[in-house]
């Protein structure tokens, strides 16, 4: 098996590469900068014009991790086209060349936001549910999924779609990193009354699932939702982070409605939805079709995520 992984300098792609390399899989990677010595790196951008044929020679499977990621404060004049340039047109260009080069399978990392931003209390997104992207990022990913399905039908190259929730692990950034810092500093947090449910997945569990999908016969031309299998409320997650860091968590119970209104008044509606809203995933398709179970628990994943941070 020869694997071509895009975005090997990124959070997900970098960890996947480490795990695959450790399992003895032959790898070629893509990144903007060539600063890795363990395996060949194809230096390039993800664009509709990139020529991938040299990198794809002899490759059995492509795992496409690289993307223009969602930015909360995107200031692009035409941000939809900016996302499409990389996530839709760039992906389609790579996939078409992969099919021509004889690649057997193309694994595309998408986002749960293709299904929507939030779930109703007590309900979950399922892999084959109707889609409802709410922003330019998720729309560009959905369009890529749709174009990949056409490539698979036209060429016979197998396509696997994996829609991801929040991914965490050592080196995580964004809101998850901020939560770690809040707990580390011991600041009072107004989330004691937040009992929502959100799905997430550790980088180790995700890497294992991706590597299951690169050659499992039942994964061919399927869409999967994947998570750790243990959905947490914001207050529970903060408490678990505290336990992982041996830090007391100071939670203040403010009614959810009051907290949500306050965040809206400070123009933080999107942040409020991410922190307070529900977003649950049904992973039964991955379990039933692929016989896949998470390698590690949430507690184990969180301990890895905070490792090294409590000393600084």
Tell me, letter by letter, the H, E, C secondary structure of 184-195.
HHCCCECCCCCC
Look up residue 73 and give its DSSP letter. Answer: T
CA proximity to 148, closest of 207, 112, 107, 113: 107
Q: Is 89 a catalytic residue?
A: no
Kindly list the domain boundaries of the chain, sorted by start residue: 2-170+198-230+279-296
How crowded is residue 35: how many other Cβ atoms within 10 Å of its Cβ? 9
The answer to whether the CB of 138 falls within 8 A of the CB of 113 is yes
pLDDT of residue 185: 92
pLDDT of residue 84: 96
Q: How far apart are CA 65 and CA 52, in angstroms?
A: 15
pLDDT of the chain, 312 residues: tens digit per residue: 999 999 999 999 999 999 999 999 999 999 987 666 678 889 899 999 999 999 999 999 999 999 998 665 554 545 899 999 999 999 999 999 999 999 999 999 999 999 999 999 889 999 999 999 999 999 999 999 999 999 999 999 999 999 999 999 999 998 899 999 999 999 999 999 999 999 999 999 999 999 999 999 999 999 999 999 999 999 999 999 999 999 999 999 999 889 888 888 878 777 778 888 999 999 999 999 999 999 999 999 999 999 866 544
User: In this structure, are strands 158-164 and 222-225 parallel, antiparallel, or unpaired?
Assistant: parallel
Q: Tell me which H or E stretch contains 63.
A: strand 61-64
The answer to whether the CB of 142 falls within 8 A of the CB of 131 is yes
Q: How far apart are CA 162 and CA 111, in angstroms?
A: 7
Q: How far apart are CA 211 and CA 200, in angstroms?
A: 18
pLDDT of residue 243: 95
Q: Which residues contact 230 (CB under 8 A, 6 or more apart)?
A: 297, 298
Q: What is 2-170+198-230+279-296's CATH superfamily? A: NAD(P)-binding Rossmann-like Domain (3.40.50.720)
pLDDT of residue 142: 97
Which among 42, 53, 83, 137 is annotated as catalytic? 137
Helices (H), 58-165: 79-83, 91-100, 136-155
pLDDT of residue 273: 80
pLDDT of residue 158: 98
Q: How far apart are CA 138 and CA 143, in angstroms?
A: 9
pLDDT of residue 71: 62
pLDDT of residue 312: 43
């Amino acid at each position: 098996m020869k694997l071509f992984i895009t975005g090997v300098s990124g959070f997900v792609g970098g960890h996947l590469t480490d795990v695959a390399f450790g399992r003895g899989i032959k790898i070629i990677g893509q990144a903007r900068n060539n600063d890795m010595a363990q395996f060949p790196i194809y230096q390039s951008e993800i664009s509709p014009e990139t020529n991938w044929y040299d990198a794809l020679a002899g490759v059995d499977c492509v795992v496409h991790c690289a993307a223009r990621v969602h930015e909360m404060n995107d200031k692009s004049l035409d941000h939809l086209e900016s996302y499409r340039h990389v996530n839709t047109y760039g992906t389609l260009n790579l996939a078409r060349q992969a099919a021509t080069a004889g690649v057997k399978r193309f694994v595309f990392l998408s986002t749960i936001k293709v299904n929507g931003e939030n779930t109703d209390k007590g309900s979950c997104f399922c892999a084959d549910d109707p889609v409802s992207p709410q922003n330019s990022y998720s729309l560009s990913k959905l369009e890529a999924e749709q174009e990949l399905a056409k490539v698979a039908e036209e060429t016979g190259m197998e396509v696997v779609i994996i829609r991801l929730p929040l991914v965490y692990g050592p080196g995580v950034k964004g809101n998850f990193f901020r939560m770690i810092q809040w707990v580390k500093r011991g600041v009072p947090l107004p989330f004691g009354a937040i009992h929502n449910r959100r799905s997430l997945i550790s980088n180790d569990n995700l890497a294992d699932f991706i590597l299951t999908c690169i050659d499992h016969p039942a994964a061919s031309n399927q869409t999967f939702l994947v998570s750790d299998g243990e959905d947490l409320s914001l207050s529970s997650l903060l408490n678990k982070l505290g336990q992982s860091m041996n830090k007391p968590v100071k939670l203040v119970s403010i009614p959810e409605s009051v907290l949500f209104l306050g965040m809206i008044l400070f123009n933080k509606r999107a942040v409020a939805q991410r922190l307070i809203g529900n977003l649950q995933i049904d992973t039964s398709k991955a379990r039933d079709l692929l016989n896949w179970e998470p390698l590690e628990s949430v507690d184990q994943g969180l301990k890895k995520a905070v490792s090294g941070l409590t000393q600084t």
